[in-house]
Amino acid sequence: MKIALAGNPNSGKTTLFNGLTGSNQYVGNWPGVTVEKKEGKLLADKSITLTDLPGIYSLSPYTNEEIVARNYLINEHPDVIINIVDATNLERNLYLTTQLREIGIPVVVALNMMDVVRKQGTFICVKSLEEAYGCPFVEISALRSEGFTDLLNKVYSVKGTEPQKRLIFDHHIEEHVNELENTLGDLNYKRYYAVRLLENDQRLGIEVSKETLETAERVRKELEGIFDDDIESIFATERYEYIEKSMKTCHKCGLKKTFNPDTILMNKYLALPIFAFVMFCVYYISVTTIGTIATDWVNDTLIGEIIIPGAQNLLASIGTSEWLIALITDGVIGGVGAVLGFLPQLALLFFLLSLLEDSGYMARIAFLLDKIFRKFGLSGKSFIPILIGTGCSVPGIMASRTIESESDRKMTVITTSFMPCSAKLPVIAMISGAMFGGASWVAPSAYFIGIVAILISGLVLKKTKPFKSEEAPFIMELPAYHMPKASNVFKHTWERVRSFAVKAGTVIFVACIVIWLLSNFNFAFEMVDSNESMLADIGSVIAPVFKPLGFGTWEASVATLTGLAAKENIVGTFGVLYGTAEVAEDGMEIWANLQQAFTPLSAYCFLIFNLLCAPCIGALGAIKREIGKGKIAVFALTYQTIFAYIVTFIMYNVGKVFF
Amino acid sequence: MTNTLDKIKPGQTVRVTKLGGEGAVRRRIMDMGLTKGTNVYVERMAPLGDPMELRLRGYSLSIRKADAEFIEVV
């Protein structure tokens, strides 16, 4: 038996899904789109599969989520639809109910958040609702796991039954819908198709006869004449009028006035300072203090002093050859470990973001900043990924998941890594120390260029095809504030941390091995120093490419290449290439070598190119994961590199005139 | 007197008379409950002046002024 779970965003759908299935769920993407698909077996009955449809407001043919939900319902023939409805926001939620009802698949409505409704003193009459919509309504609280047994009993009882008819629309419309249904022969879901045809839906997914199309065309014209309105508006208005009417008999609003935090949080003068303070706290806790302490401990103590020496000893004791020990410890553990070292920071960050999301404040951030960001083709929600990106691009890119609009999200994913992350700081420190006497303008200028790169890219990408087509409207619900629930927040955090760890175990694992091999062997497969390795050879081949940018030495090219594994490698690579094995974070030992190899201008160009060009392999993996399609990930990489090249080229050649 | 929604000051309640515009945005606006005859209370403007926050059908909706321009109200 198959059940589909449908409902508005913010109706508690995911909570109900988790409550009904436990944690044994399968998460994937719907074919062809990056909308997440979740499936799970019911805890109460393992023979029942529950599919969590994307959160939607309507079955209109305009957004990815809506199309995915429609296609699933029509093509996969679930036995029952559970329509979860936020009972504190009944009127708007019932709009989708009227649409789900007309498909013809039995519907059970789960009235969620009934505990809150009762607390507000609001009265909802379940009997009248069932009467009005012709399907069972069950009171539940997904958060408190209340009413689940009732809900499932109702699901069993409606399975296989013919849904009751209700006249939602004006009699003119009902007659015409019937007329159109009759032309559809023995098609499944006739009423659904008839209404869609009348609405002139262009993504019907079926072929219909010429007669049907002509009838639809004629009937549509007639109705538009009778109502003096266009067809989409007629249907929407009729649905809401029916709902309003039903609300009169089954809903009595509580008189309790609750305090609205927005009076302060969105106050004209206080909103921005409060927002800045909240962001400061998030950043301070996760990136600069507690998170960093934990991350440093994992990197230096746990991995550096315990795991790597331990592994070395273990492997040596069982007689492993030296090169394999080096591959495993330096290449794999060192490389993957460097990425996994971010885990504590990430976990803390995701935890705080989940708090903001769950409480409802995240939507207000978008509301607050939308005006600024949309000038550059980004959304108000792009702020968070960019801010986090200053710590590490990987969680920054992953944080872009909270952006609903597909084009805004892609744009944010592609541009987030322009921000100098913490791994780029050693490079900045090295260049500024060696070439500019540690001048205080170097680091801020890197951030400034990062921000400008994001904004310019917003403007440029907006003009390109993948981002232009879907100018997403900013018509957003501002959900009521509520206390985040611990288990939800932990679940959110855990899911994100896990997907990060999985990636480190796959993409990054392979990349680390490849880069290690390239930098430790020559083309004759002999183990050599890195300045004679394949990587060095490749470096000298591509060095001419960087000549127009001012840094056409093979060392600089190799450093740029190893920077792809992790940006802080750039400093280490210079250390190895200039013959100093160990270098401090700012590479002080090799400043003299750098001063000979670079001019201040070419060094600055080298710095900027490395900040803007393709990010490290970890971030690339994140981009690929978040964008989904390989083609766009390649586009992202190409765009970033070309963008960096052009900017640096201009900088160097203009700079040459002045310096 | 007809006016467009973007011109309405916070604290006022108006009724929707006509929805202009077209396609996805217009449909989304209607799906969210801004249909003909709906009463809408303008709660506030965002601190930077745009978008605006509306109260209708028992919930809060934010919408850009550029989109509210297509909504005629009295």
Peptide bond preceding A473: is omega within 30 degrees of 0, i.e. cis? no
> Which pLDDT does position A503 carry in this prediction?
64
Q: Verify whether the Cβ–Cβ distance B35 to A95 is below 8 Å.
A: no
Cβ of residue B10 closer than 8 Å to a chain A Cβ: no
Q: Could you report the per-residue pLDDT of A140-181, keeping only the tens digit for each? A: 998 888 999 999 999 999 999 988 888 899 999 999 999 999
> Which pLDDT does position A409 carry in this prediction?
83
> Which pLDDT does position B46 carry in this prediction?
93
d(CA A435, CA A238): 71
What's the average model confidence in pLDDT over A105-119?
93
Helix (H) / strand (E) element for B72: namely strand B71-73
CA distance A198 to chain B (A): 15
Q: pLDDT band at residue A343, thresholds of 50, 70 and 90?
A: confident
The three-class DSSP label of residue A476 is strand
Higher pLDDT, A356 or A85: A85
- CATH number for the A171-252 domain, one of 1.10.287.1770, 3.40.50.720, 3.30.465.10, 3.30.1540.10? 1.10.287.1770
d(CA A479, CA A451): 30
> Which pLDDT does position A136 carry in this prediction?
96
> Which pLDDT does position A494 carry in this prediction?
83
Share of chain A above pLDDT 90, in %: 34
Per the CB < 8 A criterion, the answer to whether A416 and A385 are in contact is: yes
Q: Of A420, A417, A400, A421, which is closest to residue A639 (Cα–Cα)?
A: A417
Share of chain A above pLDDT 70, in %: 92
Report the range out of A37-46, A97-106, A400-409, A448-457 with the highest average pLDDT.
A97-106
Residue labelled with tokens 């009521």: A480
* Long-range CB contact pairs, A579-586, < 8 A, 24+: A585/A426, A585/A429, A586/A426, A586/A429, A586/A430, A586/A433
Where does chain A hold its CATH 3.40.50.300 domain(s)? 2-158
Cβ of residue A120 closer than 8 Å to a chain B Cβ: no
What's the average model confidence in pLDDT over A326-331?
79
d(CA A589, CA A572): 11
* pLDDT surpasses 90 at B61: yes
Least reliable range by pLDDT among A115-129, A280-294, A596-610, A635-649: A280-294
Give the pair of three-digit tokens for residue A83: 């329509």
Q: Verify whether the Cβ–Cβ distance B51 to A92 is below 8 Å.
A: no
Q: Verify whether the Cβ–Cβ distance A62 to B49 is below 8 Å.
A: no
> Which pLDDT does position A580 carry in this prediction?
61
* pLDDT surpasses 60 at A581: no
- Among B32, B45, B55, B67, the strongest candidate for a mutation testing the A interface, having the largest count of A CBs within 10 A, is B32
d(CA A12, CA A630): 32
Q: Could you report the per-residue pLDDT of B14-37, keeping only the tens digit for each? A: 999 999 888 888 999 999 999 999
Per the CB < 8 A criterion, the answer to whether A641 and A546 are in contact is: no
> Which pLDDT does position A600 carry in this prediction?
92
CB nearest to A475's CB, from B29, B50, B60 = B29
> Which pLDDT does position A35 carry in this prediction?
67
Cβ of residue B55 closer than 8 Å to a chain A Cβ: no
> Which pLDDT does position A509 carry in this prediction?
75
At residue B14, φ and ψ (nearest 5 deg) are -130, 170
What's the average model confidence in pLDDT over A87-108?
95
> Which pLDDT does position A438 carry in this prediction?
76
Angstrom CA distances, A329 to A309, A333, A337, A604, stand at 8, 5, 10, 34
Cβ of residue A175 closer than 8 Å to a chain B Cβ: no
- CATH number for the B3-73 domain, one of 3.40.309.10, 2.40.30.10, 2.30.30.280, 2.30.30.90? 2.30.30.90
d(CA B66, CA A241): 27
> Which pLDDT does position A508 carry in this prediction?
66
Cβ of residue B4 closer than 8 Å to a chain A Cβ: no
Q: Of A412, A373, A404, A520, which is closest to residue A472 (Cα–Cα)?
A: A404
Per the CB < 8 A criterion, the answer to whether A275 and A383 are in contact is: no
- Among B50, B60, B69, the strongest candidate for a mutation testing the A interface, having the largest count of A CBs within 10 A, is B60
Start-to-end C-alpha separation, chain A: 74
HEC per residue, A253-269:
CCCCCCCCCHHHHCCCC
Where does chain A hold its CATH 1.10.287.1770 domain(s)? 171-252
Higher pLDDT, A388 or A413: A413
| Interface confidence (ipTM) of the complex | 0.96
Cβ of residue B6 closer than 8 Å to a chain A Cβ: no
Cβ of residue B39 closer than 8 Å to a chain A Cβ: no
Instruction: Find chain B residues with C-beta within 8 A of A269's C-beta.
Output: 47
> Which pLDDT does position A102 carry in this prediction?
92
> Which pLDDT does position B39 carry in this prediction?
95
Per the CB < 8 A criterion, the answer to whether A59 and A96 are in contact is: yes
Cβ of residue A370 closer than 8 Å to a chain B Cβ: yes
> Which pLDDT does position A507 carry in this prediction?
65
> Which pLDDT does position A612 carry in this prediction?
94
Q: Are strands A49-52 and A36-41 parallel, antiparallel or unpaired?
A: antiparallel
Give the DSSP letter string of A286-302.
Answer: IIISHHHHHHHIIIIII
Which residue of chain B comes nearest to A272, CA vs CA? Answer: B47
Per the CB < 8 A criterion, the answer to whether A501 and A618 are in contact is: no
* pLDDT surpasses 90 at B59: yes
Alpha helices in A114-207 (DSSP H): 114-119, 126-133, 148-158, 171-182, 190-198
Ordered by start, the domain boundaries in chain B are 3-73
> Which pLDDT does position A312 carry in this prediction?
86
Least reliable range by pLDDT among A17-31, A40-54, A345-359, B30-44: A17-31
CA angle, A395 as apex, A518 and A635 as ends, to 5°? 60
Report which residue type is found at A363.
Answer: A
Q: pLDDT band at residue B9, thresholds of 50, 70 and 90?
A: very high
Give the pair of three-digit tokens for residue A365: 């951030």
Higher pLDDT, A509 or A249: A249
> Which pLDDT does position A175 carry in this prediction?
93
Per the CB < 8 A criterion, the answer to whether A15 and A488 are in contact is: yes
Single pTM value for the model: 0.80
> Which pLDDT does position A92 carry in this prediction?
96
Q: Could you report the per-residue pLDDT of A604-645, keeping only the tens digit for each? A: 999 999 999 988 888 888 888 788 767 888 888 899 999 999
Cβ of residue B60 closer than 8 Å to a chain A Cβ: yes
* pLDDT surpasses 70 at A25: no
Give the contacts of A232 (CB within 8 A, at least 6 positions apart). Answer: A199, A200, B26, B27, B30
Q: Verify whether the Cβ–Cβ distance B47 to A268 is below 8 Å.
A: yes
Instruction: Find chain A residues with C-beta within 8 A of B60's C-beta.
Output: 477-480
Q: Verify whether the Cβ–Cβ distance B62 to A57 is below 8 Å.
A: no
* pLDDT surpasses 60 at A471: no
Average pLDDT score, chain A = 85
The three-class DSSP label of residue B26 is helix
Is it true that domain A2-158 has CATH number 3.40.50.300? yes
> Which pLDDT does position A287 carry in this prediction?
64
Report which residue type is found at A48.
Answer: I
Q: Verify whether the Cβ–Cβ distance B30 to A89 is below 8 Å.
A: no
Q: pLDDT band at residue A484, thresholds of 50, 70 and 90?
A: confident
Burial label for A445, CB within 10 Å (0-12, 13-18, 19+), is: middle
Cβ of residue B40 closer than 8 Å to a chain A Cβ: no
d(CA A564, CA A68): 36
Q: Are strands A137-139 and A107-112 parallel, antiparallel or unpaired?
A: parallel
* pLDDT surpasses 60 at A470: no
Q: Verify whether the Cβ–Cβ distance A474 to B30 is below 8 Å.
A: no
CA distance A197 to chain B (A): 16
> Which pLDDT does position A372 carry in this prediction?
86
Q: Verify whether the Cβ–Cβ distance B32 to A63 is below 8 Å.
A: no
> Which pLDDT does position A585 carry in this prediction?
64
Helix and strand tally (H, E) in chain B? 2, 6
Instruction: Find chain A residues with C-beta within 8 A of B58's C-beta.
Output: 88-92, 253
Rg (alpha carbons) of chain A, rounded to whole number: 29
Q: Could you report the per-residue pLDDT of A230-250, keeping only the tens digit for each? A: 999 999 999 999 999 999 988
- Among B15, B18, B29, B30, the strongest candidate for a mutation testing the A interface, having the largest count of A CBs within 10 A, is B30
CB nearest to A236's CB, from B30, B49, B58 = B30
